A and B are shown apart, each in its own frame.
Chain A
Amino acid sequence: ETGVTQSPTHLIKTRGQQVTLRCSSQSGHNTVSWYQQALGQGPQFIFQYYREEENGRGNFPPRFSGLQFPNYSSELNVNALELDDSALYLCASSLGGGGADTQYFGPGTRLTVL
């Protein structure tokens, strides 16, 4: 186990709703990255937070937003949910500026949008 925890484990929402996913990073890690993994595909980078500031963003629309707290835990918020948002959402924590070190993944949150 990596020490990275995510909640909830599973979530079912309907199109147009909003969702918040949570991640607790491994002890001592100050960087959290979020990824979306569609069924049968590799994870796709959403964004990264380093010391409470966004430190890079992938090709995702603004309705995907995030937050990192002083204890380095993080939230991923998705507004106006679409069917294609159904996926496994992974967070990964790492130590160092910009996520220089190994990224350790949590078990993910499975989001289903109906």
Chain B
Amino acid sequence: QQQVKQSPQSLIVQKGGISIINCAYENTAFDYFPWYQQFPGKGPALLIAIRPDVSEKKEGRFTISFNKSAKQFSLHIMDSQPGDSATYFCAARMDTGRRALTFGSGTRLQVQP
């Protein structure tokens, strides 16, 4: 019930291409869905987040698409750059109780120049 499933495990994209990472969840009590970016040796940094009352949110080159009925959400990175090479985690959180983040297993993105 608490799982967030993330795919793919790794992704190689050419510079300028679109990177797409997908996540699915089961617990319908989740109501906050952030994406984090993590570079080696660093802690996760918040990229963008969405709540289920909207289907899409865009910030710069990063877009979250959210499908509430399918219980799926995805991160799209437009015009991918070598500096985007990092590990990306989706996460989910309930707005009640302890409000801990439940993370996906991560996607290692490599953007080739």
Contact = CB atoms under 8 A, between A and B. Distances in A.
Interface of A: 2, 4, 33, 35, 40-45, 48, 55-58, 90, 92, 98-100, 102-108
A98 B97 contact: yes
Given A102-B34, A102-B49, A45 B43 contact: no
Contacts of A48: 98-100
A43 B101 contact: yes
Given A42-B103, A43-B103, A108-B43, A56 B89 contact: no
A44 to B, nearest CB: 7
Contacts of A103: 46, 101
A94 B1 CA distance: 25
Contacts, number: 64
B45 A2 contact: yes
A107 B98 contact: no
Interface string B44-78: 11100100000000000000000000000000000
Interface of B: 6, 34, 36, 41-46, 49, 89, 91, 95, 97-106
B92 to A, nearest CB: 11
Q: Chain A's interface: helix, strand, loop or mixed, by majority? A: loop
Given A42-B106, A43-B103, A105 B98 contact: no
Contact of A105 (B41, B43, B49): B43
Contact of B98 (A2, A35, A55): A55
Contacts of A58: 100
Nearest to B100: A45
B95 A105 contact: no
A48 to B, nearest CB: 6
Nearest to B108: A40
Contacts of A4: 43
Contacts of A55: 98
Contacts of B49: 102
Nearest to A97: B99
Contact of B43 (A40, A56, A57, A90): A90
